[in-house]
Amino acid sequence: MAQRKVEYDEKAIQTLDPLEHIRLRTGMYIGRIGDGSNPADGIYVMLKEVIDNSVDEFIMGQGRRIAITRDGKGIEVRDFGRGIPLGKVVDCVSKINTGGKYNDDVFQFSVGLNGVGNKAVNALSSSFEVVSFRDGKFKRALFERGLKVKEEGGKETKERPGTLIRFTPDPEIFGDYDWREEYLEHRLRYYAFLNSGLTLDYNGRKFTSSNGLCDLLAYELGDEMALYEPMHCKLDRLEFAFTHTHAYGESYFSFVNGQYTNDGGTHQSAFREGVLKGVNEFARNGFAGEDVRDGLIGAVAVKVQDPVFESQTKNKLGSTEVRSWVVTAVKDQVVLWLHKNRDEADKLLDKVKSNQRLRKELSAIKKEARERAKKVAIRIPKLIDCKVHLTDDKGKRREETTIFLTEGDSAGGAMIQARDVQTQAIYSLKGKPLNTHGMGREAVYKNEELYNIMRALGIEEDLEGLRYNRVVIATDADVDGMHIRNLLLTYFLRFFEELVSTGHVFILDTPIFRVRNKKETVYCYSERERDEAVARLAGNEVTRFKGLGEISPREFKQFIADDDHLRPVVVGSMGDVKAALDFFMGKNTPARKQFIIERLIADIA
């Protein structure tokens, strides 16, 4: 079929207003759009951009309280900082590359985006209001979808200095969205952890922290007791805290100027190195890094002028100049703390020596697993890799890569035909994986399936070898599929929890039903959606997909072509994870059975 000829002339060239561009290319500015069901959805990014500006005022010593009020779909943020200079209020929320963040004397360690944040919020809101109170005067401006509709100002002696932003995300962009209280509260709680002395008042509930990152660790650990009282240090540009638990692997929460860097970066690497050097200097030993850090949970926050990130999403710090001073500061403070706290030092060293013994015992099992794998096949069985990993471009493009863990050969075959061969890999599971709850690490090396999954992901030694940015669990939408999904999540959460907590694990949402008539096709994810589609379309064809293998490659392509059908696995605190695994995957059969019965009765009612 011949393509329609399109003229490329002066008429084809368009010039968009910057705010129009934000509405047209929303993902470039706030990432995923979403409907509020995921903490990474755009409405939460918008709120973050507004609060970040208020936090910047606190960092500069102006205002110790931020009031956040939600009323339905709209949110108001009021700080008590200096207030936007009155003559620039309109420009600061409507003109790209306008703001005070470029001036290092005014904002030394900025959290917010340089001149973009509030403009994006303005452009993506159906209604947006900004008010600045300053020097006994005020300036107010009202906008609708980025266009100014009203501006006024004058004297105002009753209000304390500061800035008020009120916005409602635009349903034209976000559809039928809704705010989730648990996501809002989690975000505000972390603002408090990172800014000791700041109070965030949300609809009458106060979030504050006196012990900073030490409070963060206490919140994350929940009822799971730390092996010793956390080490906590707060310096001018560096704050860190850590302890050990009985969990496997390492878990970190790292931040740069208040930005959560879930993929770590130079500051996190320097922190890990500093802890190792500090422990070894105190112990006068040469413990291996994995022995010192296995079971460690740590948090580190640095303040950096003009930070350089390795990606547009600011997930990983790339600033190399951070390394030397962070390593030295952490090492010196760890040595000092260990000398001052001998009881805690003994508990830490006992954990390190225990790790060392277990590693030596495990080395023989690891060697046996590697030799067994070599006898079976040179390559990893059931892995169809993507081309990015077969070229020299793999470092630069790792962020684009995805591996789908599929249920059986039929689903894998359909996905192999539908995938992007450059960036999408397929690993077909043989059957139901082992339930690893309560098992030791040796189990994943003795079990062929779990060991091969580990090899396929590149995490046989540690998570730094992760070969794919997204690890997607793609199972059938039936009871067996849900069981396999839970078994895989148990495996990851027990032995590679950081893989989940840093946002690398996803669930593929694929339809259960297809309803169509001659004009339209609708894919449904529940019986309710199916019934609604049948009524709306007067659908004369309804198909129930018994498994992923029944979806044709042509149809499957739309579900794996982008991130819209990938649901990130979001976990609460480490304590919540442990309790959930104990309940759902442990041996408490009577309690779990009663839970299932109660849910069935509720569904029937």
* DSSP for 439-485, written as a single string: --THHHHHSHHHHHHHHHHT-SS-GGG---SEEEEE--SSHHHHHHH
* Average confidence (pLDDT) over 7-29: 63
| Helix residue ranges, H only, 166-265 | 171-174, 181-194, 213-221
Q: Same structural domain for residues 196 and 149?
A: yes
Residue 443 domain flag: yes
Helix crossing, 266-283 with 342-376: angle to 10°? 120
Question: How big is the CA angle at 563 (ends 50 and 547), to the nearest 5 degrees?
Answer: 140
DSSP character at residue 230: P
pLDDT of res. 107 = 47
Over the stretch 159-175, which tens digit does the pLDDT of each residue have?
A: 999 999 999 999 999 99
Residue 116 domain flag: yes
pLDDT of res. 598 = 66
d(CA 28, CA 25): 6
Q: Edge-to-edge, what's the strand order for the sheet holding 296-302?
A: 231-234, 238-244, 296-302, 251-256, 259-260
C-alpha distances in angstroms, 90 versus 96, 126, 147, 154?
A: 11, 17, 11, 15
Residue 243 domain flag: yes
Q: Among 558, 553, 529, 450, which residue's Cα sits nearest to residue 494?
A: 450
C-alpha distances in angstroms, 428 versus 52, 416, 433?
A: 43, 10, 12
Residue 111 pLDDT greater than 60, yes or no: no
pLDDT of res. 253 = 93
pLDDT of res. 103 = 45
pLDDT of res. 526 = 85
562 token code pair: 């982008």
Residue 110 pLDDT greater than 60, yes or no: no
d(CA 492, CA 221): 18
Q: Same structural domain for residues 40 and 153?
A: yes
Contacts with 434 (C-beta within 8 Å, 6 or more apart), sequence order: 443, 447, 449, 450, 487, 491
Q: Same structural domain for residues 153 and 112?
A: yes
Which of 163, 178, 205 is at the close of a domain? Answer: 205
Helix (H, G, I), strand (E, B) or coil at 309: strand
Q: Which long-range contacts (CB under 8 A, 24 or more apart) does 345-352 make?
A: 345/282, 347/227, 347/228, 347/244, 348/227, 348/228, 348/244, 348/279, 349/279, 349/283, 351/227, 351/244, 351/295, 352/279, 352/283, 352/287, 352/291, 352/292
pTM, two decimal places: 0.82
pLDDT of res. 259 = 84
Confidence of residue 126 (pLDDT cuts 50, 70, 90): very high
396 token code pair: 């630069």
Least confident range from 9-13, 147-151, 163-167: namely 9-13
Residue 40 domain flag: yes
Contacts with 568 (C-beta within 8 Å, 6 or more apart), sequence order: 38, 40, 503, 505, 506
| Helix residue ranges, H only, 496-588 | 497-501, 527-537, 553-560, 574-585
32 token code pair: 């995923």
Q: Same structural domain for residues 130 and 29?
A: yes
CATH number of the domain within which 307 lies: 3.30.230.10
Residue 568: in which H helix or E strand, if any? strand 566-568
* Average confidence (pLDDT) over 74-91: 93
- Name residue 301's amino acid: A
* Average confidence (pLDDT) over 338-360: 96
- Name residue 337's amino acid: W
Q: Same structural domain for residues 265 and 279?
A: yes
Helix (H, G, I), strand (E, B) or coil at 3: coil
Q: Same structural domain for residues 493 and 565?
A: yes
DSSP character at residue 574: H
pLDDT of res. 395 = 58
Within 10 angstroms of residue 172's Cβ, the number of other Cβ atoms is 10
Q: Same structural domain for residues 240 and 93?
A: no
Segment of 465-469, 564-568, 573-577 carrying the highest mean pLDDT: 465-469
Q: Same structural domain for residues 89 and 235?
A: no
Which of 205, 226, 251 is at the close of a domain? Answer: 205
Q: Same structural domain for residues 487 and 525?
A: no
Domain that holds residue 539: 513-544
Over the stretch 275-288, which tens digit does the pLDDT of each residue have?
A: 999 999 999 999 99
pLDDT of res. 452 = 93
Average pLDDT value over all residues in the chain: 86
Burial class of 95 by CB neighbour count within 10 A (0 to 12, 13 to 18, 19+): middle
Q: Same structural domain for residues 399 and 494?
A: yes
Over its C-alpha atoms, the chain yields an Rg (Å, rounded) of 26
Helix crossing, 589-604 with 574-585: angle to 10°? 90
Confidence of residue 407 (pLDDT cuts 50, 70, 90): confident
* Average confidence (pLDDT) over 90-102: 69
CATH number of the domain within which 166 lies: 3.30.565.10
Residue 582 domain flag: yes
Question: How big is the CA angle at 110 (ends 105 and 114), to the nearest 5 degrees?
Answer: 95
CATH number of the domain within which 456 lies: 3.40.50.670
Which of 163, 185, 205 is at the close of a domain? Answer: 205
Yes or no: say if 34 and 45 are a contact pair by the CB < 8 Å rule: no
Over the stretch 209-267, which tens digit does the pLDDT of each residue have?
A: 999 999 999 998 876 679 999 999 999 899 999 999 998 889 999 999 888 888 889 99
Residue 536 domain flag: yes
Q: Same structural domain for residues 159 and 99?
A: yes
pLDDT of res. 92 = 87
364 token code pair: 């023989």
| Number of domains composing the chain | 5
Q: Among 159, 105, 108, which residue's Cα sits nearest to residue 131?
A: 159
Q: Same structural domain for residues 590 and 534?
A: no
d(CA 428, CA 453): 10
Residue 363 domain flag: no
Yes or no: say if 303 and 258 are a contact pair by the CB < 8 Å rule: no
Residue 12 domain flag: no
Q: Dihedral sign, CA of 518, 519, 523, 524?
A: negative
